[in-house]
């Protein structure tokens, strides 16, 4: 059986992060790359929106531009996410669909189960919350999104490390009524973070999630191939284009 | 005329519809944080709604959508044919 490739924590901007994920998907489809688990951060911090969302509806574009925050449309559905450089860890897992449960719901459960196992290393007791979230006592700590293309499954997701709700709201469009102190408090009551739960360092979180994702899997530490990087640089043109980002 | 509507699918996701119409639908966009597989089919789904009479009932629109999903092997997660039809009717009120 083919070993997994694990690409250790990297930092890229939003357009490269999304291009690399799609390039890897294409390479696995063409049997030029092994199934891959990848960890990354967003530098600069960025907002990503789901495939079916409207950039103008969801994102405070003016504020993002003035603060140097990237904004990008993902290949996957789901909601808008503020990816704070210091505030979260992102992973992607990409492999043949046959390696995962056929049911979308069950495959979310299986992959999220690995994150939950990772969090257990930090003595954090988290639960899967269908469709695509992980929660601790009802408070969200991880959001995940999955696509399937030509026999390949790609799921990426974030684990919140430190959350600054007011900063998050400054980049996401919510009505003025909703951004009131009351609303921020209610979101703070519905969201938590690894730091708030356990006080561990970012590196400890990364180590725990790495363990959760790789446990009982045969894997090699690898890098993005030159062919994947070349294709990613082509895909970057799409991900950084207004045609794509403002297509809806 | 132009209309919009938003609704939260019970146990699911948010859906927002933007529609231009007169006697029938001229154009429609279905937006939200749901999942549709394959993703590219969203444009076909929207196209299939163009020309739908504004008099069509929620049930008629829902059935039409469901047949389209079944015929094209489209999977919806967090949204349903019924909820899209409901949002569409709300937007055209």
User: What value of ipTM does the predicted structure carry?
Assistant: 0.96
Does the beta-carbon distance from B78 to A148 stay under 8 Å? Answer: no
Q: Which positions 81-140 of A are in contact with B (Cβ < 8 Å)?
A: 104-105, 131-132
Q: What is the pTM of this model?
A: 0.94
Q: Does A157 touch chain B (CB under 8 A)?
A: no
Torsion of CA A97, A101, A105, A109, to 10 degrees: -110
Determine contact, residues A209/A115, Cβ cutoff 8 Å. Answer: yes
Query: CA of B16: which chain A residue's CA is closest?
Result: A53
Q: In chain A, which residue ranges form alpha helices assigned H by DSSP?
A: 14-29, 55-58, 61-67, 104-121, 165-171, 181-190, 194-198, 202-214, 226-239, 242-245
**Across residues A17-41, what is the average pLDDT?**
98
Tens of pLDDT, residues A181-217: 766 677 778 899 999 999 999 999 999 999 999 999 9
**Is pLDDT above 70 for A175?**
no
Q: What tens digit of pLDDT does each residue of B65-85 get?
A: 999 999 999 999 999 999 999
pLDDT at residue B36 is higher than 90: yes
- Is residue A236 within 8 Å of A15, Cβ to Cβ? yes
Average pLDDT of chain A is 95
Pairing of strands A70-73, A46-49: parallel
Q: Output the average pLDDT for chain B.
A: 96
Residue A51: its chain B contacts at CB < 8 A? 39, 42
B39 contact residues in A (CB cutoff 8 A): 51-52, 75-77, 147
Q: Say whether pLDDT at A1 is over 90.
A: no
d(CA A230, CA A24): 11
Domain of residue A199, CATH code: 3.30.930.10
pLDDT of A2 reads: 87
Tell me which chain A residues have a C-beta less than 8 angstroms from the C-beta of B32. 50, 52-53
Domain around A54: 4-245
Q: How far is A122 from chain B (nearest CA, A)?
A: 30
Query: If you average pLDDT over residues A154-159, what whole number do you get?
Result: 98
- Say if CB B25 and CB B54 are below 8 A apart: yes
Q: Are A47 and A59 in contact (CB under 8 A)?
A: yes
Number of domains into which chain A is organized: 1
The pLDDT score that the predictor gives to residue A14 is 98
Give the span between the Cα atoms of B51 and A183, in whole angstroms. 40
Count of all residues that appear for chain B in the document: 93
Q: Which residues of A touch B36 (CB under 8 A)?
A: 52, 77
| Whether the predicted pLDDT of A234 surpasses 60 | yes
């Amino acid at each position: 059986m083919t070993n997994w490739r694990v690409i250790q924590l990297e930092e890229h901007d939003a357009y490269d992060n999304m291009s690399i994920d799609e390039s890897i998907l294409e390479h696995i489809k063409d049997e030029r790359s092994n199934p891959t688990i990848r960890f990354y951060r967003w530098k600069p911090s960025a907002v990503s929106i789901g495939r079916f969302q409207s950039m103008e509806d969801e994102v405070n574009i003016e504020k993002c531009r003035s603060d140097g925050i990237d904004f990008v449309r993902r290949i996957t559905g789901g909601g808008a996410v503020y990816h704070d450089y210091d505030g979260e860890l992102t992973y992607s897992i990409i492999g043949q669909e046959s390696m995962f449960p056929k049911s979308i719901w069950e495959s979310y459960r299986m992959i999220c189960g690995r994150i939950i196992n990772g969090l257990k290393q930090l003595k954090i007791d988290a639960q899967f919350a269908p469709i695509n979230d992980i929660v601790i006592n009802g408070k969200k700590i991880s959001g995940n999104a999955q696509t399937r293309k030509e026999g390949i499954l790609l799921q990426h997701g974030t684990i919140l490390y430190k959350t600054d709700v007011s900063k998050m709201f400054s980049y996401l469009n919510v009505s003025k009524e909703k951004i009131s102190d009351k609303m921020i408090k209610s979101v703070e009551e519905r969201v938590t973070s690894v730091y708030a739960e356990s006080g561990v360092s970012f590196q400890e979180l990364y180590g725990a999630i790495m363990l959760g994702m790789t446990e009982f899997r045969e894997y090699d530490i690898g890098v993005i191939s030159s062919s994947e990087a070349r294709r990613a640089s082509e895909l970057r043109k799409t991900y950084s284009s207004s045609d794509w980002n403002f297509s809806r | 005329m132009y209309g919009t509507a938003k609704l939260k699918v019970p146990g699911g996701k948010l859906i927002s519809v933007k529609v231009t119409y007169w006697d029938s639908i001229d154009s429609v966009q279905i937006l939200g944080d749901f999942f549709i597989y394959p993703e590219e089919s969203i444009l076909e789904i929207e196209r299939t709604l163009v020309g739908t009479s504004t008099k069509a009932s929620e049930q008629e629109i829902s059935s039409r959508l469901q047949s389209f999903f079944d015929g094209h092997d489209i999977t919806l997660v967090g949204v349903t044919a019924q909820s899209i039809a409901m949002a569409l009717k709300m937007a055209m009120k």
